[in-house]
Amino acid sequence: MCETDWLAQHELDARDLLCPMPLLKMRQALRNINHGERLLVKTTDPGAERDIPAYLGQSSHQLVRQARKHGELWFLVEQGEAT
């Protein structure tokens, strides 16, 4: 997987934040971007590996991909329809 697979219009640096802050910051960021735009979330919180996909599975947003990169968890999220 190359770096261009992670292109996004927006990026959230949630590194060094502990649960539940990465999830809360991501939710807030998704409210401020347009439908179809992508948000790259970078975090070091191990709980995010479970929490972020679980939240996205219950929302209209799409988890495009996730991975461990450079000792961090990366999530590429596409903003879904407003509910």
CA atoms within 13 Å, Cβ hemisphere of 5: 9
For residues 55 and 4, give the distance between their C-alpha atoms in angstroms, rounded to a whole number.
25
What residues are annotated to the active site? 19
| Cα four-point dihedral sign 7, 23, 47, 50 | negative
What DSSP state is assigned to residue 78?
E
For residues 44 and 27, give the distance between their C-alpha atoms in angstroms, rounded to a whole number.
17
